Amino acid sequence: MAVVTGASSGIGAATARRLAAEGFEVVCAARRGDRISALAAEIHGRAVRCDVTSSEDVAALAAEVGERCDVLVNNAGGAFGADPVSSADLDQWRAMYELNVIGVVAVTKALLPALMASEGQIVVMGSTAGQVTYEGGGGYAAAKFAVRAVVDTLRLELWDQPVRVCEIAPGMVKSEGFALTRFEGDQAKADAVYAGVAKPLTSEDIADCVAWVATRPSHVNIDRMIVRPRAQAANHKVHRVFVEAG
């Protein structure tokens, strides 16, 4: 069995489909119940409405999963806003920390007994924002740096247990809704993130990485996988080609 949080769209939905194709029964967990119900029906999985920032929802998810879990993909997360630190919206910072960090810890803690029973694999969706900072990304980078610290600490603490721990840190992924959510529905700002980039990563690219990590032999641990499109040499260095009209 595999559990994917944030499975209602983007990387989460693509990962659920990919793991189902690998033969896992997938528990699709997310806040949008209608979307995960449709996805679960499509892949013959199970849908559990779960807000990872709610202790009650996380407990209900663990109860649904039961005693064994082969793979946990902590994918639920997101970025809110792009203000400089000097004018930071602290509510957005708190929301990002709760979702990206506390949510990961809560779900991992709840499902750890089932993962240990199955010699399971934990995959945490980080970001290259958790490796190198950039202007306007302070709140998101702070959360993803914390995610990286959680992953590395967890691996150390579980060193004598039959559980593997991996962070996948994507760079520029043109996934459903990520940039649009960050810019509060401003389509022009969301489109500008990918402007001129011929081939940013897709959700399916990242799902493929998750599936590869999850299907390694039980003695093989992939500590961290940093994945970027070829056009992105670093967070701040992206090859863009603009074609002039006319």
- Domains along the chain? 2-238 (3.40.50.720)
Q: Are 39 and 8 contacting, i.e. CB atoms less than 8 angstroms apart?
A: yes
- In 126-244, the DSSP E strands lie at 164-170, 224-227, 232-234, 237-238
> Which residues make beta-bridge pairs with 71?
2, 121
Task: Give the predicted TM-score (pTM) of the model.
Answer: 0.94
Instruction: Give how far Cα 167 sits from Cα of 15, 112, 139, 170, 184, Å.
Output: 15, 16, 19, 10, 27
Annotated catalytic residues are: 140
Match 């950039």 to its residue by tokens: 134
Q: Average pLDDT, stretch 135-146?
A: 96
Give 151's contacts (C-beta < 8 A, 6+ positions apart).
124, 126, 165, 166, 167, 224
Match 């959510």 to its residue by tokens: 181
Per-residue confidence (pLDDT) for residue 190, from 0 to 100: 77
Q: Which amino acid is at 91?
A: D
Q: Are 5 and 30 contacting, i.e. CB atoms less than 8 angstroms apart?
A: yes
| 3-class SS of residue 209 | helix
Dihedral over Cα of 144, 149, 152, 156: its sign: negative
| 3-class SS of residue 175 | coil
Question: 75-133: per-residue pLDDT in tens?
Answer: 999 999 999 999 999 999 999 999 999 999 999 999 999 999 999 999 999 999 999 99
Per-residue confidence (pLDDT) for residue 215, from 0 to 100: 97
